[in-house]
Every structure is written in structure tokens, then in C-alpha cells.
Structure 1
Amino acid sequence: MITIATLEDVSVLEKLINSAYRGETSKRGWTTEAHLLEGKRITEDELAEIIQNKENTILKFTNNDTIIGCVLLVNKGKKLYLGMLTVSPELQNSGIGKKLLQEAEVHASALGLPKIVMTVISIRKELIDWYNRHGYLDTGVREPFPLNDTDAIIANQPLEFIVLEKII
């Protein structure tokens, strides 16, 4: 079931997101960034701030009362920004990410937004290919990779974001 996350979900979401992106647990899934970055992907305070902003929606995918996936959607006026698509590492490749992407399109349509954009680390070829298969195309735009206080780059090549877009 996909519903909107609330402040009550912050602690569980923080653990889920960090387990899927960073650290040893993330290596069980194919979307890990553990070979590129160390540190937390997000904190509970950052998540609470995101949820409290009326332009943001975090959709959560729940099964048997357990949150096993989520995605951040940000209303950017003429487009919807999609970020932090997360699926529990043990459950990746089971269709949950695809269902969250589909629900993001429903959300964008409900807001009257004609396209969804996202940023992906440029050297994440397998992830970019997955998004391509779901209709997201490289816009040619590149953005610098921002570091926060909890990030440490361990990649042996420079990191930057590519901007992907899907017209819905």
C-alpha cells in the first residue's frame, strides 16, 4: 500500500533510507552508494523538515505495517522533482520501485505538472539505465554534487549529477 508519510514515520524512514544507500546493509541491494560515499544519506531532522514543507510529499510503501520503500516528491512549480527513491535492500528487484515511480506520475498529474525530473550520480550507469527503461531521459544538464556535513566521498573519480526527465 502506498500512502503519504507523516512525522510519525521519520525514525523508520531514516533507517530505511540510510540502509538502502550507505553502509554494509546497502550492499545487499543494487542501488547502494556505499562504494562512492560514506556517512549518512539523511538524518531524522532533515526528514522532519522535508515532511513539514508543504511543497514536499514523501510517499511510503507499506507491507504488513512495515515501511519497505519510499520516494520524495517536490512540487517545483512547472515540474515535479523526484528524489530519494528507496526500497529495502533485501526487496529490491521486486517491483516496489516501479510502483513508487508510477504513483509519482499519478501525483504529478494530480498537481497538473507535465513532467518529472530527478538527479542521479553520473557514474551510476545501472541506475540510469533502470530509469531510462521507465521513460526517464538524460536532459544533457549536469549539476555539481553537493556535499553535506555527513558525506565523505570515497569514489576514485569526480561525482556529478545528471538530470533525467520524463514527460507525463
Structure 2
Amino acid sequence: MPDLLITRPARPADVPGLVVLINRAYRGPARRGWTTEADLFDGPRTDEASLRALLRAPYTRLWCCHEPALGLVGSVCLTRPPGEVMHVSLLAVAPEEQALGVGRYLLLHADLQARHLRCTRLRMTVLAERPDLLAWYARRGYQPTGAVEPFPAGAGAGEPRQPLHLLVLEKPVSGVACAALSVLAEPAQLA
């Protein structure tokens, strides 16, 4: 893992860089990162209009993760509608920084935010057609709920090349994760 990661809420000026990061992570050439979906979709994963809408959306915060020497290396979107469940989406790590702990750090950050907001569970959807990604999330405590959703074609996330399905995963909010995150970064670095 990089020596220092700084996580902060995204601002409008961050949007162009986030679009590049997210599209490289999700739709970049397969040889560059293990999380690419380029073989499953046509088109970009996101665009500036979609991310600007997220910045204005109620109950939603898009986070940037920076490494001082490298700049923007990751992102995660957290949505907490009324209730005790926080939704995790748009977890993205620059392909050259994948497998170095940045994604794990961002999930710990999500756990910390959920605990701070008194949520009891974290929820996400993951493509059923990505068993390697499902296994990665399982190792971080996310388990299938049994719910399956069709991929929402026309939702602005690219066009599927085949019928796709989303599995709903959940995990309980963990105090252990919060303690681990405090070891990874000083509280002032999370502001």
C-alpha cells in the first residue's frame, strides 16, 4: 500500500479526473487492471454529467483518494438514504495502483463512514459475471443476500454486450475496520 493515502469528499473541480480514473479502472484495457469490465460493455462507465449529478444527490458523497506523489488513485461513492444501510458504489482504483491495498483502504473508509453515521450494514451490487471480483469482496466480508437484479441497460453505465445480472452483497459495519483505518491514516488526513 502507498505510504500515505488522503481521502476527502469530491469537489466539482475533481470531476474530470474522476471520470478518467473510473473509466480506466472499469473499462480500460484488460491487461492494465484486473477489475476491467471492458469485455462485458461498450462505452464508458461514467461521464461528467453523471458524476456532477452524484455531487448534488441527496444522501450521497463521492470520495477521492489521493497519494501525495501520484495524485488521484481511487474513488468510492457512499449513499445513505434514511435507514441503517449505506450503499457502496463506484469503487475504483487506478489500474497501476491495483493490488496494492488502495481498494481495501477505500472499503475501510466506507466502513468508517457507515459507523460514524450509525449504519449497521454496508450494501453493494456486483456483476454476477465477475466471480473474481465477487471473491475479492467476499474476502472483505461482503456476502450475497440472495437478491439478484438485472443490469439496468440505458442507465448511463455503458451498454452490456450480453444480458448481465447484479448480485446484492452486504456486510455488517465493523468496529475492527474502523480501528484498522485509524492505523492506516491519521484522522486529520481523512478530512
The normalised TM-score by structure 1 is 0.93
- Answer whether contact 1:142 1:162 (CA < 8 A) is retained: yes
Q: Tell me which residue corresponds to 1:59.
A: 63
SS at match of 1:3: strand
Structure 1 alignment gaps of length 5 or more: none
**RMSD of aligned C-alpha atoms?**
1.3
Q: How many residues align?
A: 165
Offset, 1:63? 1.0
Identify which of 106, 114, 132 aligns with 1:126: 132
Q: Which range moved further: 113-122 or 64-73?
A: 64-73
* Structure 1 residue runs of 4 or more that deviate by more than 3 Å after TM superposition: none
- Aligned twin of 1:160: 165
Aligned mate of 1:9, from 14, 17, 40: 14
State the alpha-carbon separation in 2 of the partners of residues 116 and 36 from structure 1: 26
1:23 to 1:93, Cα distance in 2 relative to 1, 3 A: closer
Unaligned runs of 5+ in 2: 1-5, 174-191
Does the 8 A contact of 1:121 with 1:159 survive in 2? yes
Query: Aligned partners of 1:104 and 1:96: how far apart in 2?
Result: 12
1:106 is matched with 112
Is 1:74–2:94 an aligned residue pair? no
Change (3 A) 1:150 1:60: closer
Using structure 2 for the length normalisation, give the TM-score.
0.82
Map Cα deviations across residues 88-136 of structure 1 (whole Å, 9 max, x no partner). Answer: 0111000000000000001011111110000000010000000000000
Equivalent residues of 1:143, 1:160 under 8 A apart: yes
